[in-house]
Structure formats: C-alpha cells, structure tokens
C-alpha cells in the first residue's frame, strides 16, 4: 500500500495516482465527516478559491503528473490551453447521491472538478489548483460547490513542495 510520505518522496509507484487518489479520498471522507470542511455555493462563472504555489522554472513535471493522474475510466482530462487543464471525474456513488440530495440536483451525475492553471510572474511561475463539485440542476446551469478542507489544502501544498514549488 502506498502512503503519502512515499509519494511525496518521489516513489515511482505513485506516478499518476497521487493527486487523484488523495483528492477523491479526501472528498469521500468529507461526505462522512461534515464538520471537517466548509461548504460554499458559488454562482455560475464565479471561480472557486484556489491553492497556489510559486515555481522558479516552468513546472512541466507537475503538469505531466496532473495529466497522467486523470486517466481513469470515469475521468476526463481536458487541456484548456498550454497553461490550464481540467480533470472531471465521477465521484463514488455515495458522494454523488449526497451532492444531488443536498443541492436539490437533477437526477444526473455530478462531477468533481480539479483545475490547474499556470501563469508567468516576475518570480517564475504561479500554479494554482482548485477543486469543486458541479451538481446539475433541474433548471439552469450546474451549481458549483466548493468544499474547503484544511487537510486537502495541506495535501495540495505538500504536492507543490514535492514538485519544487513554494505554496503562497
């Protein structure tokens, strides 16, 4: 069994698994342990809060790891531009059902979305990772729901550090 410490130390067995596994694992735990996260409904088009880090050089290995971690059967990787990408995944059934019930969703499958955005700054590059759920509504646009988790935010910060970034 792989552990986060091994993955952050660069264990090759973690390649393509780390980000997806830990984000989905934390989101599944959120469903069972509601006091451990803060929930925010976002209006359509409103960007969710983002976890960011500064890198001195373009973090191409982080970009590749993000792409490679989104290859499962229920996942869709989309390169939005050279500097941004999105991974949409179908959550486990209990999490999906909870999202539909809690947010009065349509009887369609919600998704967990993880987006990576990179921008050039004077110090190098800033990479941001944001995560949220989209819940199809009976009428109108999908509802974006950001589930803030301190432990998941720490995991993302540790991933940034493992790839040579400094969280900001």
The model's pTM is 0.74
Q: What does each of the 168 residues of the chain score in pLDDT, given as a tens digit?
A: 334 444 445 555 555 544 555 455 544 444 433 334 455 666 667 666 889 999 999 999 999 999 998 988 899 999 999 999 999 999 889 889 988 998 888 989 999 999 999 999 999 999 999 988 899 998 888 888 887 788 888 889 999 999 999 999
The vertex-41 CA angle with 103 and 67, nearest 5°, equals 95
- Angle at which helix 18-32 crosses helix 93-102, to 10 degrees, equals 50
The sign one gets for the Cα dihedral 100, 101, 106, 107 is positive
Smallest Cα–Cα separation from 2: which of 15, 16, 19, 14? 14
């Amino acid at each position: 069994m792989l552990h986060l410490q091994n993955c952050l130390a660069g264990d090759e067995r973690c390649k393509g698994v780390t980000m997806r596994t830990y984000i989905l694992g934390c989101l599944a735990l959120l469903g069972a342990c509601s006091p451990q996260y803060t929930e925010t409904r976002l209006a359509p088009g409103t960007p969710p809060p983002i976890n960011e880090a500064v890198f001195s050089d373009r973090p191409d290995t982080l970009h590749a790891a993000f792409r490679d971690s989104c290859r499962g059967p229920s996942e869709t990787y989309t390169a939005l531009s050279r500097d941004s990408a999105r991974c949409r995944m179908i959550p486990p059934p209990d999490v999906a059902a909870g999202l539909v019930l809690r947010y009065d969703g349509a009887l369609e499958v919600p998704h967990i979305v993880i987006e990576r955005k990179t921008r050039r700054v004077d110090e190098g590059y800033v990479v941001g990772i944001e995560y949220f759920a989209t819940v199809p509504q009976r009428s109108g646009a999908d509802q974006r729901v950001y589930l803030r988790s301190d432990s998941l935010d720490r995991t993302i910060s540790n991933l940034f550090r493992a790839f040579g970034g400094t969280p900001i």
